[in-house]
Structure 1
Amino acid sequence: MMSGTSLIEESGIDSFKFDDDGRVKRTGTMVTASAHIVTAVIGSGVLSLAWAMAQLGWIAGPITLSAFSIVTYFTSVLLADGYRSIDGTRNYSYKDVVMSYLGGLKAKLCGIAQYSILVGAAIGYSLTASISMVAIKRSNCFHKKGHEAGCHMTNDPFIMSFGLLQVVLSQIPNFHKLSLLSVIAAVMSFSYSSIGLGLSIAKIAEGGHVETSLTGMPVGKDLSSMDKMWNIFSALGDIAFAFPFSPVLIEIEDTIKSGAPENKVMKLATLIGLSISTFSYMLCGVLGYAAFGNKAPGNFLTGFGFYEPFWLVDFGNLCIVIHLIGAYQVFAQPVFRLVEDWSSQKWGGSTFLTREYPINLPSCGSYKLSLFRLVWRTGYVIVTTTFAMLFPFFNNFMGLLGAATFWPLTVYFPIEIYIARSKVPKCSMVWISMQMLSAICFLISLLAAAGSIQGLVKSVRSFKLFQSVS
């Protein structure tokens, strides 16, 4: 990729504005990379960890959280080393890394898994954000009419509102311009996590007996042994898929400015991002379980584990919405880039693709509007918004999609890339250890997929088209 530099120099353009691959200089730092990671990792699902703890109990719950944090950090470090190929050229996406080290067939399989989860996340975030928006209105309704009032309302208008906002934000040209949005989203994730923690501590301080257990919710008249098993599988899935950010790891690393080796900066950012995420997860899960016990709701802000103070519950849900606005873009930008790069290669001479129109924005400077980007990205947001409205049980499907992609993207490919890059001898101790880790995670993915399928079957039974109600 060094040819980009020479072309720039020959054309007389200031080479100080470009990196070694001929692209505009990257400006990302350890701080912005950490913000991207926190934005990608911490989702509103952090508020469901109390429920997961209630299924696993005081022993298995914290151990599972810690184990997945460690595994995710380990495999993320392996993947970060693949950003540059052996000859020093950059790999701009996860698929490029797999292509560089493992070949074309595995790169295609990686691409299918990666972009499936990215598109799925966009749909899931649209639905989840709408649920938090509705929760704000319901909270005010409960405050006025009492906690026994139903206060139910449809999610669809809120899904469309979220989609309209994403149409605007999707015109942000690329991942490199998302730093401010990611920092804001990361701050929001701390805010609603802190609110959940504070409310949990307040509930614990109130006293009153809540039932907890070393092994989680006990089997009895309210819970059959079969239901207990499915709940454990679902809880494993919730925790397993709370951590991985591998689908966007390489894209995040590609924002880091030249100077210190990108993989070293990315490894430190990964350590910081995952440490913050794990600490937040552990506190929310443990204190949430202590506050609600075995009856912990799926989400104690949108599921109304708390009603008062209603304004604080409202603010917590507003923080969730703002966070998901940024998270949507973190997961959408790699999809935008894939289609736009492919289109440029196929129809590079088209003025519709290449022409940009400068627009002066008050207080924001000049913005270059691309009609192709406007049409394609708007279409993408419309499709994800429509799917979120069509399938109100999409979060269950997301769990299945996550189960299918967790093992290959977070574990299998990083391990295989490391083995190929380091030329690890087959059947050596390191090779056997890596394969054992991969096999264990594969089994957990299967169990989580089984739990998601069972939840999906339950949701389909009560499915009504365009009737997503909270």
Structure 2
Amino acid sequence: MASEVQGKSVPMEEASFEIASGRGRARDDFDDDGRVKRTGTLVTASAHIITAVIGSGVLSLAWALAQLGWIAGPTVLLIFSLITWFCSSLLADCYRSPQGKRNYRYKDAVRTHLGGVSSKLCALAQYVNLVGVTIGYTITTAISMGAVKRSNCFHRNGHDAACGESNTTNMTIFACIQIVLSQIPNFHKIWWLSIVAAIMSVAYSSIGLGLSIAKIAEGPHARTSLTGVTVGVDVSGSEKVWRTFQALGDIAFAYAYSNVLIEIQDTLRSSPPENQVMKKATTIGVLTTTTFYMLCGVLGYAAFGNTAPGNFLTGFGFYDPFWLVDIGNICIVVHLIGAFQVFAQPIFQFIETWSRNRWPDNRFVTTEHVINIPLLGDCPFSLFRMIWRSLFVIITAVVAMIFPFFNDFLGLIGAVSFWPLTVYFPVEMYIVQAKIRRFSATWTWLKILSIVCLIVSLVAACGSVQGLIHSLQDYKPFKIS
């Protein structure tokens, strides 16, 4: 297998060495697995987590709490945060095998602890979820881009003006940006993008929070209840059930990041131990996001009541100050530009690794060039990587154009991925790793946790599918909204 480095044809292993580090580096410049020394820290890992967790899910929490009410809503938010934190801590211990070997991807950790069949099932669940998230982020970004234009239109022409905007155009713009960013070779190169995205996520959450507080202060207060939307007043009995299920899926989606946890952990320095740093980063990330989620969900529900919009920054529960609404939506766009890459990079790495192993002698697949870009320095370039990653971005954009349903799509992604990726595999790997005796007290309550979460995922998926079917009945693709 050969590759071209600065115009020379050299073996692939040698090329990778030159591309990643340059010849002549000391042995201390490499980790125990022979790869260039990782430089990730608690700060960068926390930024990756916050970027992955505080995403478009926060925008639907006011709606979710409106379906569940004052008692169940905050309780479910807290329960999901505790489950996510606990299971993520278990997963962090699975980065290294009992022999100390690194697992670079989630499915590698599952293979090490549970075997090949489980690894394939994990990979299926993980990559389906990652693809779904990238589609969901494309939808959300387009809606926020359109909301900026609509906000200015409403400001000029009044709140009752017909201010339509093409999500298709916005998705095309977003896809063009992602095609460029997708040429970044790997996860290790996007730490700065995650820090920017994390700052943006905190910014727009804070703006939504501030606008909710202002709306509450204006009075009169919106109609709320202990059990959420009222049967016979706001919704029918069947709608109440379906919406409750869908709300569970939206909250599950809001906390989803286990599918990239191992990949994030693989960016960390070897010392202190990666699992210790990752557990601290998980605590910081989940605590930060839960605080924002509680504030945004509770205050958003208090502001809008049982008529809370599905997206509280783009559903125009807020019209003024229009410039602040615009800033909030711009922050969403910047954040999701970075978050798309956090979730897309594992897909890119998987396909490219599989392709190199499948066609080791194919020069189109294996050849790399080094291109000097002003201000950026030497950057690896692959024609195969450019073409396939661009196609992936285009396909996700087209699917998003066909099914641009914010709440339903988010709920379905959260429901499908929550149990297998956040709960089942971490729990099963921990049982094997810790050698927990079958039917012992610890084994029993871990199994109960897994079964309960499976039931929650199933009912949430049913609610989201019903919502999608309902949304599709009168929908026309590529229309101006």
TM-score, normalised to structure 1, is 0.95
Where does residue 251 of structure 1 map in the other structure?
263
Residue 201 (structure 2) aligned to one of 179, 183, 189: 189
Where does residue 11 of structure 2 map in the other structure?
none
Residue 420 (str. 1) matches residue 432 (str. 2): yes
Residue 26 (str. 1) matches residue 38 (str. 2): yes
Alpha carbons 2:69, 2:229 under 8 Å: kept: yes
Where does residue 281 of structure 2 map in the other structure?
269
Residue 201 (str. 1) matches residue 190 (str. 2): no
Q: Could you give the per-residue CA deviations for residues 88-118 of structure 1, whole angstroms, max 9, x where no partner exists?
A: 0000111001100111111111110000000
Q: Could you give the per-residue CA deviations for residues 336-380 of structure 1, whole angstroms, max 9, x where no partner exists?
A: 000111112122233323333332322222222211211111111
Q: Secondary structure, in 3 states, of the residue corresponding to 1:358?
A: strand
Larger mean CA deviation between 387-396 and 126-135 belongs to 387-396
1:100-115 alignment runs, 5 A limit: 100-115=112-127
Residue 129 (structure 2) aligned to one of 104, 117, 124: 117
Residue 427 (structure 1) shift: 0.4
Equivalent-residue separation in structure 2 for 1:309 and 1:430 (angstroms): 53
Where does residue 6 of structure 2 map in the other structure?
none
Residue 447 (structure 2) aligned to one of 413, 428, 435: 435
Equivalent-residue separation in structure 2 for 1:459 and 1:210 (angstroms): 26
Residue 286 (structure 1) shift: 0.9
Alpha carbons 2:57, 2:410 under 8 Å: kept: no
Q: Secondary structure, in 3 states, of the residue corresponding to 2:190?
A: helix
Letter of the structure 1 residue corresponding to residue 473 of structure 2: R
Where does residue 77 of structure 2 map in the other structure?
65
Alpha carbons 2:38, 2:270 under 8 Å: kept: yes
Q: Secondary structure, in 3 states, of the residue corresponding to 1:392?
A: coil
Alpha carbons 1:39, 1:323 under 8 Å: kept: yes
Alpha carbons 1:359, 1:369 under 8 Å: kept: yes
Where does residue 50 of structure 2 map in the other structure?
38
Q: Secondary structure, in 3 states, of the residue corresponding to 2:380?
A: strand
Equivalent-residue separation in structure 2 for 1:323 and 1:184 (angstroms): 7
Identity %: 61
Where does residue 173 of structure 2 map in the other structure?
161
Alpha carbons 2:253, 2:410 under 8 Å: kept: no
Q: Secondary structure, in 3 states, of the residue corresponding to 2:254?
A: coil
Residue 148 (structure 2) aligned to one of 136, 140, 159: 136
Q: Could you give the per-residue CA deviations for residues 21-59 of structure 1, whole angstroms, max 9, x where no partner exists?
A: 111111110100000000101112212211111111111
Where does residue 405 of structure 1 map in the other structure?
417
Q: Could you give the per-residue CA deviations for residues 407-465 of structure 1, whole angstroms, max 9, x where no partner exists?
A: 11111110000001111000000000000101110111111011101101101212323
Residue 96 (structure 1) aligned to one of 101, 105, 108: 108
Residue 389 (structure 1) aligned to one of 390, 397, 401: 401
Residue 378 (structure 1) aligned to one of 362, 373, 390: 390
Residue 199 (structure 1) shift: 0.6
Alpha carbons 1:391, 1:466 under 8 Å: kept: no
Residue 12 (structure 1) shift: 7.0
Q: Could you give the per-residue CA deviations for residues 121-175 of structure 1, whole angstroms, max 9, x where no partner exists?
A: 1111111100000000000100011000120122101101000000000011100
Equivalent-residue separation in structure 2 for 1:167 and 1:414 (angstroms): 33
Equivalent-residue separation in structure 1 for 2:351 and 2:460 (angstroms): 31
Residue 334 (structure 1) aligned to one of 335, 343, 346: 346
Q: Secondary structure, in 3 states, of the residue corresponding to 2:381?
A: strand
Q: Secondary structure, in 3 states, of the residue corresponding to 2:422?
A: helix
Residue 350 (str. 1) matches residue 362 (str. 2): yes
Where does residue 7 of structure 2 map in the other structure?
none
Residue 475 (structure 2) aligned to one of 441, 444, 463: 463
Where does residue 232 of structure 1 map in the other structure?
244
Letter of the structure 2 residue corresponding to residue 57 of structure 1: G
Q: In the superposition, relative to structure 1, how do residues 401 and 201 fare at CA in structure 2: closer, same or farther (>3 Å)?
A: closer
Letter of the structure 1 residue corresponding to residue 80 of structure 2: F
Residue 398 (structure 1) shift: 4.7
Equivalent-residue separation in structure 2 for 1:38 and 1:397 (angstroms): 21
Where does residue 241 of structure 1 map in the other structure?
253
Residue 394 (structure 1) shift: 6.9
Alpha carbons 1:124, 1:388 under 8 Å: kept: yes
Where does residue 76 of structure 1 map in the other structure?
88
Equivalent-residue separation in structure 2 for 1:154 and 1:31 (angstroms): 38
Structure 1 runs (4+) greater than 6 angstroms displaced: none
Where does residue 320 of structure 1 map in the other structure?
332
Residue 397 (structure 1) shift: 4.1
Q: Could you give the per-residue CA deviations for residues 258-295 of structure 1, whole angstroms, max 9, x where no partner exists?
A: 11110000000000001000000000011111111111
Letter of the structure 2 residue corresponding to residue 123 of structure 1: I
Alpha carbons 1:388, 1:394 under 8 Å: kept: no
Q: Secondary structure, in 3 states, of the residue corresponding to 2:104?
A: coil
Residue 224 (structure 1) shift: 1.4
Q: Could you give the per-residue CA deviations for residues 220-267 of structure 1, whole angstroms, max 9, x where no partner exists?
A: 243212111111111111112211211100000000011111000000
Give the RMSD, CA atoms, in angstroms.
1.7
Equivalent-residue separation in structure 2 for 1:184 and 1:240 (angstroms): 24
Q: Secondary structure, in 3 states, of the residue corresponding to 1:366?
A: strand
Letter of the structure 1 residue corresponding to residue 225 of structure 2: S
Q: Secondary structure, in 3 states, of the residue corresponding to 1:118?
A: helix
Residue 97 (structure 2) aligned to one of 78, 82, 85: 85
Alpha carbons 2:168, 2:478 under 8 Å: kept: yes
Where does residue 152 of structure 1 map in the other structure?
164
Residue 396 (structure 1) shift: 2.4
Q: Secondary structure, in 3 states, of the residue corresponding to 1:52?
A: helix
Unaligned runs of 5+ in 2: 1-15
